[in-house]
A and B are shown apart, each in its own frame.
Chain A
Amino acid sequence: MNIPEDLLYTESHEWIRREGDNVRVGITDHAQSELTDVVYVELPKVDRQVNAKEAVAVVESVKAASDIYAPVKGTVVEANKALEADPGLINREPYGQGWIFVLKIDNGDELKQLKDAAAYKQQISQA
């Protein structure tokens, strides 16, 4: 299972990439593999203000719908429109073209609450 070292992670299987005052968010390789074929993504609206652990997007596989959560408090500044035409990007490139949204974060310190690759790896190996 691919868990890049340079990303942060949540318990709910989102990955987070710091980009200055913003964070880019997607779901992990493990999550996409558990969800199976992604067939629909409901994206958050740009400018929406969200709290940490608030459901902001929905990823639907053939089997079921799953909520995607904001890792920290912030404002949505971008959503990945490419997923509307090709939701399978999440399965094929979970850490690349399959990203879901970008959040402008209020407080960078909140990122300290998130897991590093080692802690996330430990979490999924226990499951």
Chain B
Amino acid sequence: MTEAAPKKTPLYDEHIKRGAKMVPFAGWLMPVQYTSIVEEHRAVRNHVGMFDISHMGQLLPQGEGVREWLNAILTNNLQKLDVGTGQYTFLLHEGGGVIDDLIAYRTGEEKFLLVVNAARTAEDIKWLHHYIAPTVEVPSRTGAFGAVAIQGPRVVELFRALDVDLPPRNHIVDLTIGGMPVSVARTGYTGEDGVEVFFRATDAAKFWNLILATGERFEIKPCGLGARDTLRLEMCYPLNGSDLSPERNPIEAGLGFFVDLAKPKFIGREVLLKVKEEGPREKLVPFRMKEKGPPPRPHYAVFAGESRIGEVTSGTLSPSLNWGIGMAYIDAGHAKIGAEIEIEIRGQKFPATIEKKPLYKKQSLPPGTAAATTPI
């Protein structure tokens, strides 16, 4: 198999203009940072930041009976989903392992928008077509559409300056902003209030620059994948490919909330019922280092005394806490909040404590924002 050259999102030229450091990510050339990961991280926690998420797949399942069809594939319950709302859910294989984690928006009676991970888009499409029903089709608008995430406590003010009232949390609406038809969803991956906006690729640069110009007085910053990763890790949101994989199921990842085992059918259900009944062998736990020291990194070994009990899947120095944090899969018997573990870093063991999620909690939410973040 030959590696194709990385694709450019419709915002590529804007990133270059602003001096972003570009890296290949999941087949796309993406900005990892513009000025500094820590600065961009803080902009999102304190003001507002904007991320290009045009690399993410946008699939549009539609047709007669599409809700029932999709509900027999994905883990969360789509019967609970009204038109104009979205939910976090999983696509599993028959063995219960994670193909992808995604957000399913119900955009019409018989129409959905699935926003999926860039690295999994092709696999998702293959999987959905493998199970396709005669009355259903799943076109992809990936590439033809772009998207940004605009996240931070000042996002409501910013959109008010554009005469736009945001939809409630997890809702999606079609709007016209600056003459451009867009879909605005009150969702995100940072733990802050925020939206994800979808638009035609041909409008991408215009929309991006409109938001940056309007956001200037709210101290907006364009943000890269670096800050996206530190922000999501402080909230313990999983990253597919690191914390989730085809070898891991949502129950051991601590995400059983998004799996409705009471549904009669979804791919992987039988295996998950068994995992639920017997208890998972390993669990994904958030942890915090006990001392100031080197930050934990993926693949570092986790110990309890002399025995190796697992491996770190995500780790960094938290810019909000200025402290080493991470997530690790460890033997379920050791997975207790408050328990002490050790992380092996370059041959030396450093103590850490298993914590409750999220690893970072906002002291107080500004007035007018939703009361809680997605309960992952």
Is the pair B297, A62 in contact by a Cβ cutoff of 8 Å?
no
Is the pair B319, A40 in contact by a Cβ cutoff of 8 Å?
no
Interface string of A33-46 (1 = CB under 8 A from B): 01011011010000
Is the pair A40, B293 in contact by a Cβ cutoff of 8 Å?
yes
A-facing residues in B227-253 (Cβ within 8 Å): 230
The segment from B32-40, B76-84, B174-182, B215-223 that touches chain A is: B32-40
B-facing residues in A44-88 (Cβ within 8 Å): 58, 60-65
A-facing residues in B1-43 (Cβ within 8 Å): 21, 32-33, 36-38
Closest-CB distance, B291 to chain A (whole angstroms): 12
Closest-CB distance, A33 to chain B (whole angstroms): 8
Q: How many A-B residue pairs have CB under 8 A?
A: 38
Interface string of B284-327 (1 = CB under 8 A from A): 00000000011101000000000000000000110100000000
Closest to B348 in A: A42
Is the pair A60, B295 in contact by a Cβ cutoff of 8 Å?
yes
Closest to A40 in B: B294
Q: A36-B36, A60-B295, A62-B37 are in contact. Are A42 and B319 (CB under 8 A)?
A: no
Q: SS class of chain B's interface: helix, strand, loop or mixed?
A: mixed
Is the pair B36, A40 in contact by a Cβ cutoff of 8 Å?
no
Q: Is B358 an interface residue (CB 8 A)?
A: no
Chain B hits for A61, CB < 8 A: 37
Closest to B37 in A: A62
Closest to A63 in B: B226
Give Cα distance in the complex from A116 to B17, angstroms.
32
Is the pair A65, B319 in contact by a Cβ cutoff of 8 Å?
no
Closest-CB distance, A117 to chain B (whole angstroms): 23
Give Cα distance in the complex from A37 to B33, angstroms.
11
Chain B hits for A39, CB < 8 A: 295, 317
Interface string of A9-31 (1 = CB under 8 A from B): 00000000000000000000000
Closest-CB distance, A94 to chain B (whole angstroms): 15
Is the pair A62, B38 in contact by a Cβ cutoff of 8 Å?
yes
Is the pair B37, A37 in contact by a Cβ cutoff of 8 Å?
yes
Chain B hits for A40, CB < 8 A: 293-295, 317
Q: How many A residues have CB within 8 A of the partner chain?
A: 13
Pick from B37, B38, B230, B294: contact of A60, CB under 8 Å: B294
Give Cα distance in the complex from A58 to B316, angstroms.
15
Q: Is B362 an interface residue (CB 8 A)?
A: no
Closest-CB distance, B100 to chain A (whole angstroms): 24
Is the pair A58, B37 in contact by a Cβ cutoff of 8 Å?
no
Closest to A62 in B: B37
Is the pair B226, A62 in contact by a Cβ cutoff of 8 Å?
yes
Q: A37-B37, A62-B316, A62-B319 are in contact. Are A42 and B346 (CB under 8 A)?
A: yes
Instruction: Among A34, A39, A42, find the residue whose CB has the most chain B CB atoms closer than 10 A.
Output: A39
Chain A hits for B319, CB < 8 A: 62
Closest-CB distance, B119 to chain A (whole angstroms): 18
Chain A hits for B38, CB < 8 A: 37, 62
Closest-CB distance, A55 to chain B (whole angstroms): 10
Chain B hits for A62, CB < 8 A: 37-38, 226, 230, 316-317, 319
Q: A40-B293, A40-B294, A40-B295 are in contact. Are A63 and B346 (CB under 8 A)?
A: no
Chain B hits for A34, CB < 8 A: 21
* Chain B residues within CB distance 8 Å of chain A: 21, 32-33, 36-38, 226, 230, 293-295, 297, 316-317, 319, 346
Please list the 4 inter-chain residue pairs (A to B) with the smallest Cβ-Cβ separation, ordered nearest first. A39-B317, A62-B37, A37-B38, A40-B294
* Chain A residues within CB distance 8 Å of chain B: 34, 36-37, 39-40, 42, 58, 60-65
